[in-house]
Amino acid sequence: MERKTPLYEEHVALGGKIVPFAGWLLPVQYSGVIAEHMAVREKCGLFDVSHMGELLLKGPGSIANLNHLLTNDYTSMEIGQARYSPMCNENGGCVDDLIVYKKAEDDYFIVVNAANKDKDYAWMKEHLLEGAELSDASDDYAQLALQGPKAEEILKKVADAADIPQGYYTANFDRKIQGMDVIISRTGYTGEDGFEIYLSPADAPRLWNLLLEAGKEEGLIPCGLGARDTLRLEAAMPLYGHEMNDEISPREAGLGIFVKMKKEDFIGKAALVERGKPTIKRVGLKVTGRGILREHQPVLLNGQEIGHTTSGTFCPYLSQPVAMALIPKEYSEVGTALEVDVRGRKVPVEVIPLPFYKRQS
């Protein structure tokens, strides 16, 4: 049975098309994926991402545990800083990818994928070293994502400027927006500037409506999972279960910069050393023929399968069909002509650079 987020009634009232996703009932779209996508690229969009999981890690052994459980290095972090990392299994495949915030000394706030939350929590508990305690705080937090070039302007209308984090990938903990306790993080999954705001589920509808009202002039609209996926794909951000899974290593998924092989040890390091330099690479494909690429379609060279697409869609901002794919390195050069088997039809494609979209800063 799927759970409702604290904003379910808001989604229904706004005409959201509700679908089950990762155990939750969430809107796939309101006005339409393209309109919502473009709003985030050009103005601003508001997403309910309350389904995401929140874990807390506390204690003097926290850093040692993060460095043991995750591939990135957490040794030096400022309070308020956020840092992304894959989490590997013993074979070097991915358990999940997540973001760790340093809330205070020996006090970390970890955000994980909804679909993997229970698995991650169990995995981390099982592999926890001494000196730190892990708890699942997912039921204590709703999360709203305010994304787009107008996000800061809109947030300033409801929050104190002093509470708005200035650096990308930083967060302010224990702040208030009109009396509501919030964490404001300058992060997102759209390729735009924006904020992710964590707060009590009971307060979520009030903040949701406050933001929608405040952002009316700037063109803020509510956005669903459909646009969230096309936005992250256009920005070439990986999604667990697509670009990575329990077999694909983060290095193969193009996340090598988040894998610190020089770190003394971490779960999966030995396997990654053994697997050696990745022989496959995550690439961008654009359609040169006609058709729309989707996930898990065979990529062909001279009719032979050499890999598969991991995510694909029609990208609204670029106004063209694209996909990410995992293929052998020797065929990954930009400009290489390949084909994708789209439900039995061979569609000509070309390797192009990632990301498909990068915001002008």
Q: For residue 291, state whether it binds another protein (rule: CB under 8 A).
A: yes
CA triple 96-84-267, angle to 5 deg: 50
CA atoms 17, 144, 313, 308: torsion sign: negative
Binding mask 95-114 for another protein (x = CB under 8 A): --------------------
From CA 273, how far away is CA 251, in angstroms rounded? Answer: 11
Q: Which residue, 289 or 328, is less far from another protein as judged by CB?
A: 289
Q: For residue 344, state whether it binds another protein (rule: CB under 8 A).
A: no
Binding mask 138-157 for another protein (x = CB under 8 A): --------------------
Alpha helices per DSSP H over 192-308: 204-214, 225-234, 269-275
Q: Which residue, 29 or 50, is less far from another protein as judged by CB?
A: 29
Q: Which residue, 171 or 287, is less far from another protein as judged by CB?
A: 287
User: Which residue in 29, 45, 32, 356 sits closest to 193, CA to CA?
Assistant: 45
Residues 6+ apart with CB under 8 A from 294: 309, 312, 313, 323, 342
With CB under 8 A as the contact rule, the residue among 156, 216, 296, 345 that binds another protein is 345
Is residue 349 within 8 A of residue 288, CB to CB? The reply is yes
Q: For residue 33, state whether it binds another protein (rule: CB under 8 A).
A: yes
Q: Using the structure block, give the residue that is written with the tokens 């995992």.
A: 326
Q: Which residue, 70 or 293, is less far from another protein as judged by CB?
A: 293
Q: For residue 32, state whether it binds another protein (rule: CB under 8 A).
A: yes
Q: How far is the CB of 263 from another protein (least distance, A)?
A: 40
Q: For residue 28, state whether it binds another protein (rule: CB under 8 A).
A: yes
Q: How far is CA 49 from CA 107, 244, 328, in A?
A: 23, 21, 35
User: Which residue in 154, 143, 312 sits closest to 242, CA to CA?
Assistant: 312
Q: How far is the CB of 295 from another protein (least distance, A)?
A: 11
Q: How far is the CB of 345 from another protein (least distance, A)?
A: 8
Binding mask 292-321 for another protein (x = CB under 8 A): x-x------------------xx-x----x
Secondary structure (DSSP) of 222-250: EE-HHHHHHHHHHTT---BTTTB-SSS-T
With CB under 8 A as the contact rule, the residue among 12, 18, 34, 164 that binds another protein is 34
Q: How far is the CB of 149 from another protein (least distance, A)?
A: 21
From CA 125, how far away is CA 40, in angstroms rounded? Answer: 37
By CB under 8 A, name the binding residues for another protein: 28-29, 32-34, 37, 226, 229-230, 290-292, 294, 313-314, 316, 321, 343, 345
